[in-house]
Structure 1
């Protein structure tokens, strides 16, 4: 079999998915690496095509012996043109988008207990790490709202370490509408806010966290807008016992999500 070069039409079409506009229009994204491929293949119908070098094909193809799977051998330069990492693992999958509108996700969840709501989270690594933390904490879904990065951003996909394929990821362009939708679905919305009136430790002690909860997290640089935080049922601050000014977004999300997870599993 002749390996596809960077100039091959299918390779060129896949390479365009590095742009958000292309991902949005075609509802496709790229998942790089063996771990991402394995997790994407666990979702029926998710993988459209696999591009792999000859070495990666020799190592992996027999493991995924599915005649319906389109597997294309590519040259190293072609694979490099598709990969987002400095040292690619030799395989990139074209996947169907896994994110869905918030109303669709809420309609499929039933009685959700824990949701992470990211408002205007621009850093793809942070967004991906929040998805990973939410998955680890047993959350029901993650919502990317406002002007947040898209779930198919290559750095976001990589930062989830496969968790992107484990739980629903919802989108909602209007952050205030997302807060209202989650409240209508029966979840209290707790805004993670350094100036919050409620201490996280106190919230755990008074059983506030035992209720179904959507944690609202803001932008990495400027946090939550005052008007958006005001829509939450409560603003909760994480206590800082040392001299650090604050916690970064993904760390704060992990602390809050696990506090709720503990309260939900007495």
Structure 2
């Protein structure tokens, strides 16, 4: 059992909360029993080590079994060591170190019918929630474009509640690269934008029934005119009440499900 919170290994794990260390090592933190379980079930080949306290929590036996079945190192640590390793203030008794990955754009769009492109999205909670909604709506992949937050940021990983491990995720340097690849694969590129056409118009003309790549922009500034020019059409959600607007994650969830309904009707 690792008992010293200042042990070199504990410090190395804790350092993965910083993007610089994630890029240098190709590793990231997976915190909490739900996320660790999903990593062990869906991407066990990427998990290096699981660190868990010794307890009687309901998840303990399953995490232990999954790690053993996958031939993955399982290290026991004290609560103090786990707290030193974790990015969260109150860790839930288990975390893992896993390898980051990038899915080539050619694979992202192969046979895809619904893809999410996040452009300049900076808030980790928003990014993680959109990724989770994309997973729930049956999307084929999520792309982080431009200066969007790192998809392996600890808060993004936690916000996905395991969905990060269910679908391809990749990053691209520019929005242009993502939209060009989408269009080349036969997807219609739609921008979520308050200046766009009404969603009901898109529903009526059937544009959502075909393969679609949705572009969601920065929380504060949305998409620039240059960004919108890279898309085929802009659409907005109607506001029927007095709300000034919807936040990114809420709007994205509605639009993704609206698309999923149309494609399955």
Same fold (TM over 0.5): yes
Partner of 1:170: 170
1:71 aligns with 2:70: no
Partner of 1:90: 93
Alignment TM-score, normalising by the size of structure 2? 0.93
Partner of 1:151: 151
Partner of 2:124: 124
Aligned 1:23-34 pairs, distance under 5 A: 23-34=22-33
Alpha-carbon distance in 1 for matches of 2:56, 2:37:
13
Q: CA deviation at 1:24?
A: 1.5
Aligned 1:144-223 pairs, distance under 5 A: 144-196=144-196, 198-223=197-222
Give the number of equivalent residue pairs. Answer: 261
Partner of 2:60: 59
Report if the CA contact (8 A) 1:191-1:232 is conserved.
Answer: yes
Q: CA deviation at 1:245?
A: 1.2
Alpha-carbon distance in 2 for matches of 1:105, 1:29:
22
Q: CA deviation at 1:164?
A: 0.3
Provide, for residues 177-215 of structure 1, a one-character-per-residue CA deviation record: whole Å limited to 9, x for no partner: 21112111211110000011x211110111011110000
Alpha-carbon distance in 1 for matches of 2:189, 2:138:
17
Report if the CA contact (8 A) 2:189-2:232 is conserved.
Answer: yes
Residues 71, 56 of structure 1: CA spacing in aligned structure 2 closer, same or farther, 3 A cutoff? farther
Partner of 1:252: 251
Root-mean-square deviation (Å): 1.7
Residues 172, 71 of structure 1: CA spacing in aligned structure 2 closer, same or farther, 3 A cutoff? same
Mark the runs of 5 or more structure 1 residues left unpaired by the alignment: none
Residues 202, 107 of structure 1: CA spacing in aligned structure 2 closer, same or farther, 3 A cutoff? same
| 3-state SS, counterpart of residue 30 of structure 1 | strand
Alignment TM-score, normalising by the size of structure 1? 0.93
